[in-house]
Structure 1
Amino acid sequence: MVDILLVDDETYVTESLALTIPWSELGIQQVYQAASAAEALQLLETNAVQILVTDIKMPEQTGLELIEQAKQMRPGLKTVLLTGYSDFEYAKQAIKLRACDYLLKPVDDDAFMACIAAQVEVLKQERLREEEQAQATYSRKTEYTVLRRQLMHELLLGRQRASAHLGKLLQQYEINIEPEQSCILLTVQLAGRFLGMDRHSSELIEYAIGNIAEEIFTEPYSVWHSNSPHDHVAILISLPNDSDPSLYHKDFIKHLCSLLKEQVSSYLNGEISIVASDWFVFPEHISKYYREAITTLYRLQMDQSVVIMLDEISNKQQGSNAALEELYKPPTLINLLEGGQWQAAKEKLNIFLNSNPQQQYTRERLYEAFIAISNGLIYVANKMGIDLHSIDPHGVNLLLDRSMLLSADSLHKWSADMIELLSMQYDESDTHHKKHIIKQVQELISKELGLDASVKTIADRVYLHPVYLSKLYKNETGESLGDYIIRMRMEKAVYMLKHTNKKIYEITTELGYQNPQYFSKVFRKYYSCTPHEYRER
């Protein structure tokens, strides 16, 4: 419902309108009256008036001056002018002030009601658009949470992206970090009472830990946090490009990490362990530092709560890191798994795990091998839309099951079994995966029709090359993706022409077209008439 304010120094005019017009039928809830511009401005300050109807010629201040001041107070206010003067100069000034309508006195009730009903409808449509925008903003932020997590997982698992492309994604997802900035990676493992929580509760705790980190690492730092592929929390701390990381000594970083651990204990009543990397240039080495951090954390007892600086232990690990070279030789294990080359992936594992006598496989090396192998499995499973927990609920989380690290043989058997299960899931889910992509694309298009919806922008959102996505969509649906986008726009255009009072240029803009003539041309191609002709039918 809408509130209206009637203003005229001849009070019988406003009183007559207030008493004779069926306001509730027009969607008007409250009718206010004022006999001067000053009184009207006072009412506007204290009441949520959305429509102002005012006489033009009043003593002290004219209706035009009132509208100018009222618009400054309430930019979205709808205004209607009443006057006994049909002078065109008044009309021109009213147009400049964006008055919504202009009626001559004595007021015809039918014309007045039609005018007010039209303004109520405009307000209703504006309110609907605001609600849609609010919902779109909420959906975008919810979607961005998922997209940020996916991007963090990809970087931690070793996916390489061109710096320019990564920069665009970071900007698009509203992450305040840029390529080439100096960063530190904090890898956080839940401990104590947190370990007994279900997955949903753990995710809430992980999110809360990230928020606490944002409060501790304030300017000049920027913080990006997410859960990690191995059920930890990854917190990326960055410095501005003009900052010298050598000025931020590791002892101070360790102090902030200890403060984070203390506040988690105080506010969340639980314990955590933190491994902090050296400073590095983002995104180079983020995957390396993540693997080293996970290896370090897995060697801890589950109930330990400590802060470890990675450079304090890195020398002890360097010798064993070289043993993983086979997994990272091109084609890497991830490359083979990503390409569905299951047998070649198993053969690479055979070469790696059989390259030395059994006794040379220390526990540290088995930890590192597990991280490298599980990284590949998780990355490819995520890309395929497969949840590894559904295949092996414990196998990718050493906090739940460390049995595969009893020996190289047990790790070898677990790895081969997981690759076999993944290949079976891939064969079974290939068709389902394609259908999921089509469904995801269609949902995105339905939300994005008023934005920059194009084959390229949609392809970017589903992490596929535009040419591949177009071919996949055409093969699965028989219709090109570009044609589908246009068809959806035309169907929405028809709906708005039938069911709204929006002007053609407003529909043009809402559907993402910059040129009304081009929109009309496309519409004519589909419906053999212009939008205006369609509405007049």
Structure 2
Amino acid sequence: MYRLLIVDDEPSIVDGLLQHFQDNVEWELDICKAYSALEALEIAKKTKIDLLISDIRMPGKSGLQLVDDVLFYWPSCRVILLTGHSEFDYAYKAIQKNVDSYILKMEGMEVIHQTVSTAINKLDEEHRNRNMLERASLKLTVAEPLLKKEFFEALLTGDNAANVWRSEWYEGLSLRIELGRPLMIIAGKVDLWEEKTTYIKKMELFYSVQSLFSEHLPLQIKAETVIHDRSELVWFVQPDVAADKFNEESGATDWQALVFYLKGMLEPIQNSCRNELGIPVSFVVGKGAVEWNGIGQTFDLVKAAFKQRAVFGPAMAIIDLDKSDEWFKGETRKSAVPPAVEFNKKLKVLEKLLDEGDEKEASALTSELVGRLKQEINSNYIALMERYYKLLLVYLSALNSMDCYDKSFQDIGVASLSVMEPAAEWETIEKQLDRLCVSICHMKKEQVEKSENQIVERIHRFVNENLGNDLSLARIAEVVYFNPSYLSRFYKQLTRRNLSDFINETKAEAAMDMLIHTQLKVNEIALKLGFESPSYFTSFFRKMTGSTPQEYRETAIIKSK
């Protein structure tokens, strides 16, 4: 949506242009009007202007002076100047100010319409080019590390690599490693933090560990790194294609040789972490040759290894998932549970469904997740209990966000859900969660509908109370604290009609009421409804009712007799 400002000291011209562009469905325009350059400048000081149509000769401040002021506030604004005089001096000055067009009023509406069409096409092209440049600039500067972090975080949580890469933000992201080619995962975790270590200090130490890793890594091995969940360092490692030191005779990568080398490299890094940084760090070396879509599953094993090390292993460990000692393998087998990647992803989906009030999908997904827990409960009770409480936390967070815990939720027995029952009694838990899901979704929908209806009522009240004042989209958006462009879409989506249609209908109804029940003259009614030009009011009224104001009044008088 673009905002058009029409300025002329002749109300008939402003109102004529306003009516023409309001009736036109070719573009979505928010139209503002002003009857002097000073009035237009006040609008420009508060509201972004994309396109300006202005008379040149106006009392007080000329259109040429107004152009300078508007372009000061909104440099990308396109400008079209109108004049009733074909004077070279005006045209020359307009060209100097980089005005899009200089049009004689006598050339007619068709020429003005075509000129506006050309200006809007330029705005569209500039918008596309600006977005491309902004994305490119963002990736090259501040956003590049953040985008890389988001990209690899998505892979660690199990997202499909191809789908993530196709995102317009990640597409073309410069990576040190080659997309799609197998890689290795190495993760590091501080074994024990000092009690008073602040978050900032932890981040500083993480970056120091990253720096140590980079210093020890030979140029023939490429790596990207990310700090995951503020607690783990994860490296994605690939040997250079030309690095024959890690190639088999066939030319393929010898991943086992790479694993052995990296394990040896981690020893001095650990020593430096302890001696120079004062922190003990353990590492887990993932099984070599991981495909990109398998990153999430591999990382699940890495996290499980860290948990096992915390219980059974020493500090400053280097755990090779493929070559671990038998005691570690044994403990891992005893506690093996299905990977949590998919379960955690589905929890995020459930959170979104509850927030949207999608009862059907949320209920089905809850049933699926409870079913999984019920089937897997015997494999590792502690790990499955953790997942159950994560599921319960999603529901408790949804309840807390609505700030409306009432008796209906007490009847469901939310408190009893905090105790995880044996699998045989899980049918009761599933029923309780399903009832909770239905109640949350119903209440969420009610809250959203109530909020939306209140906004629409507020808009309608403002329009009814300000029929003779500024009813531009920008002004109404101020009242309800909305972005003007979004307000237009929001209103249409909710009421299935344009806001401008409601304003016009309300003005027409008010005009009909005044014509029947008051002795006001037609031009007085026009002014009360914000029409500076009686002729434009007459044209507007005829369009809305099929008759002129005077004809409508006379017909009403005849019917009342």
TM-score in terms of structure 1 length: 0.41
Does 1 or 2 have the higher relative contact order (CA < 8 Å, sep 6+)? Answer: 2
TM-score (norm 2): 0.39
